[in-house]
């Protein structure tokens, strides 16, 4: 019968709309919140490149590299949040607070003029760093036998750790948040974050992004700025409709998802695997479809299993076509998930 997943929405759109432009493809993904519940919908401007798994441009990677200020301390790269409120968070500078004495528990050696995290209680504080001015003392000791931090990271409680007393200056990161009224306003001030400046849209083929169910079976291709469902996918995907966790989704699942999109049944598009309790919802959906849609789903079941059978028997494409039109092969109508 088939399964449905929001991850199948992008390949299903290309399957039914070969040769659409990037703009229309992106609009189709976002129309009616069809990709709701998926990771793709978090930042709409990046939906398409993330669906296609496009690599980052080298120029953007350079832009995102951390820089060093005049004190030798890292400045984190700017971060954009492309949803309301549209924000860019920029690390402007670092301020060194007045020196003070601090005690730290360490697993490794630290030295004068080194940056280190403050963890006097034995916990890691990623937002509390300091510049070590001068080490006053260093002693070895056993791990605290009852300390939850060391137990949680699996350290042998018999090993030794280092306890330091030193003079340091805590580092205060000065961060500026720039808030914009719209995505376009943000892009005007920060053009580096435009999709076309961040992602490499020149890639001509690839694999649809997937958490775990599409694998490398579902592929796309791009010709002169237009996108297509790559027909090589048909040789890679299983029939579908069964053993989804073992083999992944397949052809019948793709066709069923196409019908769900056609009739805008967003409520049937789950992010995770279909549960058994939802079986009746799918059956009712199919029963209420027009006859041409019902026949399309039935035909996908017949064609997928027939194709795999022909491939396993080493038949030619001509043989497959002959089998497909042979009226004596009605037994394939009864194959179901």
Q: What is the pLDDT along the chain (337 residues), one digit of tens a residue?
A: 445 567 888 999 999 999 999 999 998 888 745 554 454 557 889 989 999 999 999 999 999 999 999 888 999 999 999 988 999 999 999 999 999 998 887 777 888 988 888 875 544 444 588 999 999 999 987 766 666 666 666 666 566 778 899 999 999 999 999 999 999 999 999 999 999 999 999 999 999 988 767 888 899 999 999 999 999 998 888 766 655 555 667 888 888 888 888 877 666 655 444 555 566 777 777 777 777 877 787 777 766 666 665 666 665 554 555 555 564 544 444 333 3
Give the residue from 166, 198, 230 where a domain finishes. Answer: 198
Is 320 inside a domain boundary? no
Is 301 inside a domain boundary? no
Is 298 inside a domain boundary? no
Both 183 and 250 in one domain: the answer is: no
Question: H or E stretch including 228?
Answer: strand 226-229
Is 325 inside a domain boundary? no
Using CA atoms, how far residue 49 sits from 56, 57, 193, in Å, is: 9, 12, 13
Using CA atoms, how far residue 68 sits from 75, 131, 210, in Å, is: 6, 14, 36
Give the residue from 198, 227, 250 where a domain finishes. Answer: 198
Both 50 and 131 in one domain: the answer is: no
Both 66 and 18 in one domain: the answer is: no
Both 60 and 109 in one domain: the answer is: yes
Is 93 inside a domain boundary? yes
Contacts (Cβ under 8 Å, ≥6 apart) of 48:
22, 25, 26, 29, 195
**What is the reported pLDDT for 244?**
53
Both 258 and 218 in one domain: the answer is: yes
Both 27 and 103 in one domain: the answer is: no
Is 259 inside a domain boundary? yes
In angstroms, the first-to-last Cα distance of the chain is 5
Both 164 and 209 in one domain: the answer is: no
**What is the reported pLDDT for 337?**
35
**What is the reported pLDDT for 104?**
85
Both 192 and 208 in one domain: the answer is: no
Cross-strand pairs, 75: 67
> Total structural domains in the chain?
2
Both 68 and 185 in one domain: the answer is: yes
Both 286 and 209 in one domain: the answer is: yes
Domain assignment of residue 143, given as a range: 56-198
Both 71 and 37 in one domain: the answer is: no
- CA Rg, the chain, in Å? 28
Is 137 inside a domain boundary? yes
Is 305 inside a domain boundary? no
Both 166 and 73 in one domain: the answer is: yes
pTM: 0.73
């Amino acid at each position: 019968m088939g399964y449905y997943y929001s991850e199948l929405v992008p390949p299903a759109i290309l399957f039914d709309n070969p040769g659409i432009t990037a703009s229309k493809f992106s609009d189709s993904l976002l129309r009616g919140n069809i990709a709701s519940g998926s990771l793709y919908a978090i930042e709409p401007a990046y939906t398409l490149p993330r669906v296609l798994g496009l690599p980052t441009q080298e120029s953007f990677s350079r832009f995102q590299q951390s820089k060093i200020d005049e004190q030798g301390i890292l400045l984190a790269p700017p971060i954009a949040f492309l949803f309301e409120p549209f924000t860019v968070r920029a690390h402007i500078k670092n301020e060194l607070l007045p020196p003070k004495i601090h005690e730290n528990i360490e697993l490794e050696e630290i030295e004068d003029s080194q940056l280190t995290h403050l963890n006097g209680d034995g916990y890691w504080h990623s937002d509390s760093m300091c510049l070590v001015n001068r080490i006053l003392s260093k002693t070895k000791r056993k791990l605290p036998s009852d300390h939850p931090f060391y137990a949680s990271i699996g350290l042998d409680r018999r090993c030794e750790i280092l306890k330091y007393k030193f003079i340091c200056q805590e580092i205060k990161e000065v961060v500026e948040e720039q808030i914009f009224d719209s995505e376009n306003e943000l892009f005007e001030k920060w053009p580096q974050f435009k999709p076309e400046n961040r992602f490499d849209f020149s890639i001509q083929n690839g694999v649809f992004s997937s958490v775990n169910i599409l694998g490398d079976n579902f592929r796309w291709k791009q010709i002169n700025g237009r996108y297509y469902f790559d027909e090589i996918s048909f040789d890679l995907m299983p029939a579908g409709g069964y053993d989804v966790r073992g083999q992944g989704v397949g052809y019948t699942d793709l066709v069923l998802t196409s019908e769900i999109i056609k009739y805008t049944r967003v409520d049937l598009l789950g992010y995770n695997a279909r549960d058994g309790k939802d079986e009746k919802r799918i059956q009712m959906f199919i029963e209420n479809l027009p006859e041409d849609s019902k026949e399309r789903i039935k035909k996908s079941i017949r064609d997928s299993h027939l194709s795999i059978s022909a491939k396993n028997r080493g038949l030619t494409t001509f043989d497959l076509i002959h089998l497909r039109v042979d009226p004596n092969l009605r037994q394939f109508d009864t194959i179901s998930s």
